[in-house]
Amino acid sequence: MTDDDLRDGPRSVRGRVPTSEAWIPVRDRNNTAADLLNSGDNAEAARLLQEAIELTDDSDDPEARDLRSRALLNLAAARSYEADLAEALRLAEESIRTASGVLDEIGDVRASRTVLVNAMLCRAQVLAQSDRLEGALAQADEAAAELAAHDDIHQPELLHFTMHDARAGILIMLGRLEDAEADARRSLDLALRIDATLTAGPYMNLGAIAQRTGDLHAAHEFIGLAAAAQQNDGDLITRQSAIENRARNAMQLKRLDEAADLFREAAALAKQAGLVTRLAACRMGVAAVHLESGNPALSAKVMRELIAELGTDGAAAERREAYGFLGDAESKRGKFALADEAYRTARDLSRSAHERCRVDLRRAEMQAEWASFTPLPRKRMARLRTGLEMAIPVLLATEALRGGFRPGPIRERWSLQVAAPARELAFRLAVTLGDGQVLFELIENAAASATLQAEAIEAQLPSEDSEAAAVTPVTTLSPEDDVAADVELPAAASGFVGAMSASSPVRFAPPPRVVAMPGAEPALEKWIRIAEAEYGVTVRSETVVASW
């Protein structure tokens, strides 16, 4: 550490050389503002950062522009806290341009490359908040490439931690849960080396992955570890996150009164700190408690108020989740038309096939529930048919998405969360409707199996002259073999089986289309075409085989 940065926080981006006398006012404003951001005084931090930026407006001095890039980066973070995503993105991009210009002129004398990579990761996270997920991942990958290209980069472990942590969050939103887990575990390993307080983010990502794959025991433990990592930190933002995590833990344990109190406490801190998206998440937590407590009307009221406040300019993930909750609440209180409208909006806001399938499964289940309350036989049957027409494409798409996972526990848990309920609902509705043809085709579909891609197996098998020629072939991989050898976890987190290496090429190829009767088209052919068009996945290969 130099006298340029008398800061010892684990996330501090430090300079390499002392600041010149002329630019100490800029440095001090930037450093004070960074502390204020952590303590929750967003407005004062933004004021100081704006002053720091103005002090460097007309300077050609590369030292001044290095400090400017740091202030721009911090101001981008402040604006993202406020959910002013357009301004946050503009500031992050200006920080990238400014740091790049300094590097072109004087190289990395002042650790400007560290600022550049952080600004790229900031831009990735703002893009993710803006629901531009593919662009966010591409920017995170560019940051990773910049890191890989420079061996002498300043604070490399912190940068690698930030990069893997950011990638994990983006990949979760994209539904790429195995890849997300690999990044989350890498960021956890790095956090344990740097500072234990940094482990909260990786633990929360691992908890989110466990929740999405139905492993509630693991989710509970990971969320508890995240809260424990934050509990000794005095920063307001960290305290808010810790209390929110404790609320989620209480929610999972069905301690609903405790969860509601903690969510309200976390919401008050989020409001104080100007954390718009965290405030929205806490209010959704309160609504979820109302729903679990048997008060769907109050839950729906809270969600409608929140949706109105969020507007349409930012917080896309929060709006998507809010509309999903609203659909659940309206369905629970028998307002099925309102529920369908909410689910449709949630679906329109979904960007990954995984999320669209989840929403459409809820819509299909809601149609079946609606039918049970419909007295007129013709309308009841029409709603059952609508539910079936939603459930079958979801079933086919989720089976195809399952094939894209590597063999292992994450794939099977994810399947149990979405594919299995869709299959059960499709069979139940076909039986209720007495549709023997669809039922027969569903049985044929259930009998079809995914196949390992031959080229993937060949890529895994050792050559004849390899010392590894005697190893167990790839077809006998067990879940225990899936944990990456270079990942070490603390005792409290061990026992949760990881995924195969992200570089593993083993994937399931789409199974062939199946002709059940001579001269007929393949089973569920119409539904296969619908699923592929709706969800953008390949459900079946072009190969056609007879089932008998």
Contacts of 255 (CB under 8 A, 6+ apart): none
- Report DSSP state, residue 17: S
Residue in the block written with tokens 């004087």: 106
**pLDDT number for residue 171:** 92
Angle of helix 353-372 relative to helix 419-433, nearest 10 degrees? 30
Q: Are strands 508-509 and 451-452 parallel, antiparallel or unpaired?
A: antiparallel
Contact 389, 422 (CB under 8 A): no
Closest residue by Cα to residue 99 from 88, 81, 112, 80:
112
**pLDDT number for residue 352:** 81
* Residue 381 host element (H or E): helix 377-403
The CA distance from 547 to 503, in Å, is 35
The structure tokens listed for 81 are: 């806290």
Per-residue pLDDT of the chain (548 residues; tens, 9 = 90+): 333 444 555 555 666 788 899 999 999 999 999 888 887 788 899 999 999 999 999 899 999 999 999 999 999 999 988 878 889 999 999 999 999 999 999 999 999 999 999 999 999 999 988 878 889 999 999 999 999 999 889 889 999 999 999 999 999 888 888 899 999 999 999 999 998 888 988 998 998 888 888 787 888 889 888 888 877 665 777 778 778 888 888 887 889 999 999 999 999 988 887 788 888 889 999 999 999 999 999 999 999 998 888 877 656 778 888 999 999 999 999 999 999 999 999 999 887 888 899 899 999 999 999 999 999 999 999 999 999 999 999 999 988 887 777 777 777 777 777 778 888 999 999 999 999 888 888 887 776 654 444 443 344 333 434 333 332 222 222 233 333 323 222 222 222 222 333 334 455 667 777 787 777 777 788 888 999 999 988 888 787 877 65
Number of C-beta neighbours around residue 423 at 10 A: 21
Contacts of 304 (CB under 8 A, 6+ apart): 326
Contact 179, 406 (CB under 8 A): no
**pLDDT number for residue 317:** 79
The CA distance from 320 to 311, in Å, is 12
**pLDDT number for residue 236:** 76
**pLDDT number for residue 402:** 79
Question: What's the N-to-C CA distance of the chain in angstroms?
Answer: 73
Contacts of 384 (CB under 8 A, 6+ apart): 367, 368, 371, 429, 432, 433
Instruction: State which amino acid sits at residue 117.
Output: V
The CA distance from 287 to 267, in Å, is 12
Q: State CA 165 to chain mean position distance.
A: 11
The CA distance from 365 to 37, in Å, is 44
Residue in the block written with tokens 């729903």: 291
Closest residue by Cα to residue 517 from 417, 441, 428:
441
Instruction: State which amino acid sits at residue 269.
Output: L
DSSP 457-495: HHHHSPPTTSGGGGSPPGGG--GGGGS-TT----GGGTT
Domain boundaries, the chain: 393-466+508-548
Please state the length of the chain: 548
**pLDDT number for residue 470:** 31
Closest residue by Cα to residue 317 from 45, 57, 83:
83
| Helices (H) then strands (E): counts for the chain | 23, 4
The CA distance from 3 to 17, in Å, is 8
What are the φ/ψ torsions at residue 353 (nearest 5 degrees)? Answer: -60, -35
Half-sphere exposure (Cβ direction) of 319: Cα atoms closer than 13 Å: 21
Contact 524, 220 (CB under 8 A): no
The structure tokens listed for 113 are: 């490359």
The CA distance from 45 to 421, in Å, is 49
